[in-house]
């Protein structure tokens, strides 16, 4: 039996991971559950899965994440932000497999994670649906034969909005995501397409492909989860109904593929559309590319600024259009030359959040 720790067990991915485990009871044993703050839900999960330990970050601090991974073969990381960076690095050092659903860890700390992967025995696998698709497409192929990765995007709730409509688009409209049911932060990131920008950086680290070879295509039906073009021109795509339990199960059972409870895909009479994003309306994708090119701590600067903007947007304190402008301003103004370490990432995250809040409050 594989021993599992879930960091972020009460969120959308955490809950669905437990669903997959329940469907395959004889294969997995839950060792630890860590939630952010939802004690009620955590206690209920603990009753059902009997973990050795379970904590909330709010009560026990981020240290509980590192203690939670101790007995696990696979550490599912579905926390928010970069709170799990130390736990991810420790898990790699210990030789465990990290199943990463949280993209911020790689976006901000990709250099560190890469360094740890080269020095220690631990492995990193992805639970992000697009990246799982790419992973499945490149299995059995040579890295040198990959021409490019094509990340598909649903386009989010505002994909058909005009520039005028975007000016007044409210968070509660964004939360009605057309195809995926996800947490609030990622649903807003999907509406701004920041999510896809972050996924470019994530894909670059996961598959060791330069961002220039990673493209984005809007695909509103969310059936094709991403594609890989090879040197001979062949394009491989991975398809299924939009259902996160599939990439979660693939990560947990890899290299095996097992039957699942996902509804079978029927393509008959289905229309699949693909088009390029409007980069003038959805500026966050290129802000990600810029921050990634600058390197160092700049992806962490972008991520922290975005975190604050999403929070303020959810509270109706700023408009949709402000999100990209504020992030752009922070990227232009905020100077950082520190070396990347887990500590400098967490410090930068804190300082940039204060800086961004000050901009929004009109202090700077």
Q: Which residues bind Mg ion (CB under 5 A)?
A: 128-130
At residue 211, what are phi and psi to the nearest 5 degrees? -60, -25
Residue 340 beta carbon to Mg ion: minimum distance, rounded to whole angstroms: 24
Residue 10 beta carbon to Mg ion: minimum distance, rounded to whole angstroms: 20
Rounded to the nearest 10°, the torsion over CA 218, 222, 225, 229 is: -40
Kindly tell me which of 109 and 247 has the beta carbon lying closer to Mg ion.
247
Kindly tell me which of 45 and 154 has the beta carbon lying closer to Mg ion.
154
Kindly tell me which of 72 and 223 has the beta carbon lying closer to Mg ion.
223
Residue 230 beta carbon to Mg ion: minimum distance, rounded to whole angstroms: 22
Kindly tell me which of 131 and 281 has the beta carbon lying closer to Mg ion.
131
Distance (Å, whole) CA 189 – CA 202 = 15
Q: Exposed e or buried b for every residue in 26-40, given b needs 16+ CB within 10 A?
A: eebbbbbbbbbebee
Kindly tell me which of 187 and 356 has the beta carbon lying closer to Mg ion.
187
CB 91 within 8 A of CB 68: no
Distance (Å, whole) CA 284 – CA 276 = 15
Residue 135 beta carbon to Mg ion: minimum distance, rounded to whole angstroms: 12
Q: Give the tokens for residue 243.
A: 């259902």
Kindly tell me which of 31 and 225 has the beta carbon lying closer to Mg ion.
225
Residue 248 beta carbon to Mg ion: minimum distance, rounded to whole angstroms: 12
Residue 255 beta carbon to Mg ion: minimum distance, rounded to whole angstroms: 22
CB 39 within 8 A of CB 56: yes
Distance (Å, whole) CA 263 – CA 242 = 10
Q: Return the sign of the alpha-carbon dihedral for residues 248, 252, 257, 263.
A: negative
> Do the strands 28-35 and 2-7 form a parallel or antiparallel pair, or are they unpaired?
parallel
In a 3-state reduction of DSSP, which class is residue 228? strand
Kindly tell me which of 120 and 180 has the beta carbon lying closer to Mg ion.
180
Q: Looking at the DSSP assignment, which residues form a beta bridge with residue 146?
A: 230
Q: Give the tokens for residue 192.
A: 């701004």
How many other C-beta atoms lie within 10 A of the C-beta of residue 178?
A: 14
Q: Give the tokens for residue 6.
A: 């879930």
CA neighbours closer than 13 Å in the CB half-sphere of residue 229: 10
Residue of this chain nearest to Mg ion (CB atom): 128
Kindly tell me which of 100 and 340 has the beta carbon lying closer to Mg ion.
100
Residue 222 beta carbon to Mg ion: minimum distance, rounded to whole angstroms: 10
Residue 129 beta carbon to Mg ion: minimum distance, rounded to whole angstroms: 5
């Amino acid at each position: 039996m594989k021993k599992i720790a879930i960091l972020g067990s009460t969120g959308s991915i955490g809950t669905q991971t437990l669903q997959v485990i329940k469907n395959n009871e004889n294969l997995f044993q839950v060792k630890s559950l860590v939630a952010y703050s939802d004690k009620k839900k955590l206690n209920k999960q603990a009753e059902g899965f009997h973990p050795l330990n379970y904590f909330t970050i709010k009560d026990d601090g981020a240290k509980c994440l590192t203690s939670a991974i101790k007995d696990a073969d696979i550490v599912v990381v579905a926390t928010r932000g970069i709170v799990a960076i130390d736990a991810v690095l420790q898990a790699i050092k210990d030789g465990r497999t990290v199943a990463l659903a949280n993209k911020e860890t790689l976006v901000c700390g990709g250099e560190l994670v890469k360094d740890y992967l080269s020095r220690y025995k631990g492995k990193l696998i992805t639970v992000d649906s697009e990246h799982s698709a790419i992973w499945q497409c490149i299995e059995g192929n040579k890295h040198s034969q990959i021409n490019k990765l094509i990340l598909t995007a649903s386009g989010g709730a505002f994909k058909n909005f005009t520039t005028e409509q975007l000016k007044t688009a409210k968070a509660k409209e964004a939360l009605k995501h057309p195809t995926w049911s996800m947490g609030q932060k990622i649903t807003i990131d999907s509406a701004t397409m920041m999510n896809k920008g972050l996924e470019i950086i994530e894909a670059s680290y996961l598959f060791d492909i330069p961002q220039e070879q990673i493209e984005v295509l809007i695909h509103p039906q969310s059936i094709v989860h991403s594609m890989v073009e090879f040197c001979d021109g062949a394009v491989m795509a991975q398809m299924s109904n939009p259902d996160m339990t599939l990439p979660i199960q693939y990560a947990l059972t890899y290299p095996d593929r097992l039957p699942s409870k996902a509804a079978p895909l029927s393509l008959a009479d289905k229309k699949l559309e693909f088009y390029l994003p409007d980069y003038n309306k959805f500026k966050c994708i290129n802000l990600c590319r810029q921050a990634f090119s600058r390197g160092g701590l700049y992806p962490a600067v972008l991520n922290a600024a975005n975190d604050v903007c999403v929070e303020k947007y959810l509270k109706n304190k700023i408009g949709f259009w402000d999100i990209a402008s504020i992030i752009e301003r922070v990227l232009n103004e905020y100077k950082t030359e520190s070396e990347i370490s887990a500590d400098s990432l967490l410090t930068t995250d804190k300082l940039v959040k204060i800086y961004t809040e000050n901009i929004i409050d009109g202090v700077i």
